[in-house]
Structure 1
Amino acid sequence: MNKFKYILIFVIIIVFLLYKCSLNSTDYHISTIPAMTDPFRGGHIEDTHMDTNITALNNQSGVRQYRILLWTKYFQSDDWLHLDLKSMGCQFSNCLFSEDRSLVVSADAVFFHWRDTSPWDLPAKSPMAAARGQKWVLYNWEPPQYAPAFRVRPLAEHIDWVMSYRRDSDIYVPYGSVTKCDTKWHNEDLFDNKSGSVAWIVSNCQSPGNRETYVNDLRKHIDIDIYGMCGQHDCPRDGTCLSAIVKKYKFYLSFENSLCKDYVTEKLFKIISYDIIPVVYGSADYSLIMPNNSFINVKDFNTTEDLAKYLKLVSSDKQLYNSYMLWKKSYCPQLTHFKYFCHLCHKLNEDSARKPTNRWNPMTHQIKDEPLTTRQMDTNDGNGLNNQSNVKQYRILLWTKYFQSDDWSHLDLKSIGCQFHNCLLSEDRSLVVSADAVFFHWRDTSPLGLPAKNAAAVTSGQKWVLFNWESPENSPAYNVRHLFNHIDWFINY
């Protein structure tokens, strides 16, 4: 019995070895290889092995497939992972998306969303991938006040393309657009149905751009009905509120919360889909993105009183009011939510050379009039400070103590051998607006004792700095949670 058992085992082994040899023979057809899951397609690969060589990724029609690794989420969501570029009407749809981080070397592009990027969760850039042409792409749709620099500082030397609302970005991705189109718009009787003057929906009551101050002054000269959290009228988010407002009112305040170069959001692009005149407040050149006579710009008026007088004039003249609607006969507005991937795929297909750049400073990139596209941090901010005859004095407000001690307020930077010692330290909280930097020690920070970030101070370049020398276990997050969207620089071990 045992002898028969051993013979059977021997036969099975021989059969198995013969089968393995047949797999290695040159006559074996690739079609018999089990399908492999492709994380970029979510389906299967039916042809050859997973070759990282880009030429092996062409589809059957000869079109190259570009692989984009989404390293981060998008505001904690992975919605963009399921985008179908073809159904979105993109010119190029040969880009495949994945969040499989094992593909960080083989991907054609590695994509980072600024607000979801963590300085403690970044890949190493492969020299082999870079030599092959892999692009690291940083995307940001937020103004600097809501895009903390510490999140992306370690990426500064590695970013190849920047995508943002800035027109001088490598990849320009506005919130919306207005394009020529055939339209049957005809609504010249809308004037007679509007009984209200000016409306505004707002939920951010203290904006970096200080728009609420302008509105409060404007209200002295013309009636403005304010809806939402900052106003006297409720406004549900289900769309019924906005629909009712645009039917009732003649003007809508499309006021941006931040005054940054080229920063124009849905506050304008959404409202121009309706029959109401937008009054714009921002730092963009609106003539570059909007048709003539389609909006009223507060910058065209010296005072709020002058603006109010003009709004009253337009409000009382049917022909003049309707003249602001004539553009709708030739143009169509649209939001471009997630269309930025159309632009990225187009850029990858173009494979064009980067435009010349000099520097990329992620802290001030959307305020300065310099291109965003440079690849190195500004390391020369201190140049000239050694000229003691003309030295700027930087004021640092120490908002917190240091482990309940105020020892650091008495530091003498010169005596401790600092390269630069033209910084003055103070605990006087009345300097919160005028200081060049406001300094917080994590362990001594209280969520109940934080200042408000001043828009004028931000514009002047004030930096909020968070310092921590403790491990996470000894650094309670609740201490600084309210600071996360305001910190510019982070100091730690």
Structure 2
Amino acid sequence: MNMTLCELLWSILLLVIVSYFWNLGKDAEGTLKPASNNPVILWWTEGFPGSSDTKHCPDSIQCDVYSSRNLSNVHTVHAYLFYGSNINFSDLPVRKPEDTIWGLYHEESPRNVEALMHEPVLNLFNFSSTYSRHSDVPYPLQYLESFEDITSRKYFIETSEKNAYLKDIAPILYIQSDCETSTERDIYVKELIKNIKVDSYGACVNNLKLPDKFTGDYLNNLNEDEFLKFVARYKFVISIENGVCEDYVTEKFWRAIKVGSVPIYFGSPSVRDWFPNKKSAILLEDFPTPKVLSDHIYKLLKNDDLYETYLEHKTKQIVANAQLIREFTERPYQLDSLLTVEKFECYVCKMLHKRIGGDYTVNIVAKSHYDCPKPLSALTLGENPANSWVQTWAYSKEEAEKINKRIMNRV
């Protein structure tokens, strides 16, 4: 059917009207404008999480979340969020405690942002989302890929078969490529090797070459089936974190749990709270020297029953730690980083709505939200004054005081 000129003009006009109202909800960068009086949350640090949309949160509350700091000149910002790894303390928005909320999201150890080890910098923020259980939106289980991994026997090798492997491999595996850590783990491993055989792959304390199939890019294939089966042959895996922080328990621990090797662990002082069972790892703090630890390992190598007391999550497929079960059940979001970010955004959104409703008390992030003390050595279980990381810690403490004073306009 032919369209008359009048009908054509009306059709064009209708398209223009629809286009106008559609773009009314967009800004110059193509992100949603507040469609109502929603509070505005802005990620000041760029590149994370990188999306902008209206968050529909529990209790029927909404906030408009942006990831482009340029929009701070367009919208009235009610809360600024910061991703710890990308934060630049020389480039921050004006701090107005009476007008805006500041939130910190940080899942890493403090090695890349050392100022965060100190309370004066933490005090700049009102709310946090970190691996600490004391954070406002915590995720201490962030490196546990799934709860089923704990009891799954997919990669598990029976003790008798592991014993057979001892003809060709050491009882202990060490594989690291980060050779400069505050915990001095390489120094510890060098001393341990003097007392017991350790197969050390990677760039640090290397005494064996990885199989060719892993040499190309093994760091990006640590969760591949072939590599996990390779690790599972070992009775013990050295799992020393690159930093000692409360609740900072990484894949170094959980990978060993997943494949059914016993972690030899140093890192989070509270790691026992996340053991599947009472004895799921060997802690360096219980065996204060490499010689004492090696004596214990030799004892376990001679007694399969004693060795398997560390593996009940595999041999009996049980998890008896009620705290671990409760943490997973109450906070399932923490196994997915994107869900964790959304949870934090909605938490801040909730606080903004409470403030609008007059039901809000100013909150300050405390040390417990990101508790990383002065670096400790795995070898001595204490501070090593000669450790450059200890010296850096002292310097960053002074810098944290300066940052706080500058941001809070006290100088």
TM-score (norm 2): 0.64
Q: Is 183-192 or 110-119 further displaced after alignment?
A: 183-192
| Counterpart for residue 115 of structure 1 | 85
Inter-partner Cα distance in structure 1 for 2:60 and 2:203: 42
Return the letter of the residue paired with 1:232: N
Change (3 A) 1:278 1:347: same
Deviation at 1:199, TM superposition (A): 0.4
Change (3 A) 1:97 1:254: farther
Of 256, 260, 264 in structure 2, the residue corresponding to residue 275 of structure 1 is: 260
| Counterpart for residue 325 of structure 1 | 311
Inter-partner Cα distance in structure 1 for 2:117 and 2:276: 37
Return the letter of the residue paired with 1:286: V
Inter-partner Cα distance in structure 1 for 2:123 and 2:148: 42
Inter-partner Cα distance in structure 2 for 1:336 and 1:141: 12
Of 21, 24, 31 in structure 2, the residue corresponding to residue 33 of structure 1 is: 21
| Counterpart for residue 207 of structure 2 | 232
Of 197, 210, 227 in structure 1, the residue corresponding to residue 184 of structure 2 is: 210
| Counterpart for residue 5 of structure 2 | none
How does 1:35-74 map onto structure 2 within 5 Å?
A: 35-38=23-26, 50-51=34-35, 53-54=37-38, 68-73=41-46
Deviation at 1:344, TM superposition (A): 0.7
Residue 366 in structure 1 maps to residue 369 in structure 2: no
Q: Answer 1 or 2: which has greater helix percent.
A: 2
Residue 462 in structure 1 maps to residue 394 in structure 2: yes
Change (3 A) 1:84 1:145: same
Structure 2 contact 127–364 (Cα < 8 Å) conserved: no
| Counterpart for residue 221 of structure 1 | 195
Structure 2 contact 80–101 (Cα < 8 Å) conserved: yes
Inter-partner Cα distance in structure 1 for 2:366 and 2:151: 47
Of 264, 271, 280 in structure 2, the residue corresponding to residue 294 of structure 1 is: 280
Return the letter of the residue paired with 2:297: L
Change (3 A) 1:139 1:184: closer
Of 282, 293, 298 in structure 2, the residue corresponding to residue 307 of structure 1 is: 293
Q: Secondary structure at the match of 2:172?
A: strand
Deviation at 1:359, TM superposition (A): 6.2
Deviation at 1:212, TM superposition (A): 1.7
| Counterpart for residue 8 of structure 2 | none
Structure 2 gap segments, 5+ residues each: 1-16, 320-324, 329-333, 355-359, 375-383
| Counterpart for residue 101 of structure 1 | 69
Note the alpha carbon deviations across 1:31-67, whole angstroms, 9 max, x for none.
973443447996767xxxx45622xxxxxxxxxxx75
Return the letter of the residue paired with 1:347: Y
Structure 2 contact 175–201 (Cα < 8 Å) conserved: yes
Return the letter of the residue paired with 2:81: F
| Counterpart for residue 246 of structure 2 | 261
Q: How many corresponding residue pairs?
A: 338
Q: Secondary structure at the match of 2:235?
A: strand
Deviation at 1:251, TM superposition (A): 0.8
Return the letter of the residue paired with 2:287: F
Larger Rg: 1
Structure 2 contact 43–80 (Cα < 8 Å) conserved: yes
Inter-partner Cα distance in structure 1 for 2:53 and 2:306: 44
| Counterpart for residue 49 of structure 2 | 80
Q: Secondary structure at the match of 2:50?
A: helix
Asked which structure has the greater RCO (Cα within 8 Å, sep 6+), the reply is: 2
Inter-partner Cα distance in structure 1 for 2:271 and 2:115: 28
Note the alpha carbon deviations across 1:437-472, whole angstroms, 9 max, x for none.
xxxxxxxxxxxxxxx9624545xx532699xxxxxx
Percent identity of equivalent pairs: 24
How does 1:162-173 map onto structure 2 within 5 Å?
A: 162-173=128-139
Of 193, 215, 233 in structure 2, the residue corresponding to residue 248 of structure 1 is: 233
Structure 1 contact 209–256 (Cα < 8 Å) conserved: yes
Return the letter of the residue paired with 2:24: M
Deviation at 1:180, TM superposition (A): 6.3
Structure 1 contact 199–245 (Cα < 8 Å) conserved: no
Structure 2 contact 43–66 (Cα < 8 Å) conserved: yes
Structure 1 contact 465–488 (Cα < 8 Å) conserved: yes
Inter-partner Cα distance in structure 1 for 2:118 and 2:151: 47
Deviation at 1:201, TM superposition (A): 1.0
Change (3 A) 1:455 1:101: closer
Inter-partner Cα distance in structure 1 for 2:119 and 2:245: 21
Change (3 A) 1:222 1:338: farther
Return the letter of the residue paired with 1:224: V
Structure 1 contact 198–224 (Cα < 8 Å) conserved: yes
Q: Secondary structure at the match of 1:312?
A: helix
Inter-partner Cα distance in structure 1 for 2:239 and 2:293: 14
How does 1:480-491 map onto structure 2 within 5 Å?
A: none
Q: Secondary structure at the match of 1:137?
A: strand
How does 1:135-150 map onto structure 2 within 5 Å?
A: 135-149=101-115
Change (3 A) 1:82 1:218: same
Change (3 A) 1:350 1:189: same
Q: Secondary structure at the match of 1:249?
A: coil
Structure 1 gap segments, 5+ residues each: 1-28, 55-65, 369-432, 435-451, 467-486
Return the letter of the residue paired with 2:372: Q
Q: Secondary structure at the match of 1:124?
A: coil
| Counterpart for residue 347 of structure 2 | 347
Inter-partner Cα distance in structure 2 for 1:260 and 1:143: 7
Structure 1 contact 170–354 (Cα < 8 Å) conserved: no
Inter-partner Cα distance in structure 2 for 1:119 and 1:270: 35
RMSD, aligned α-carbons: 4.8
Return the letter of the residue paired with 1:209: T
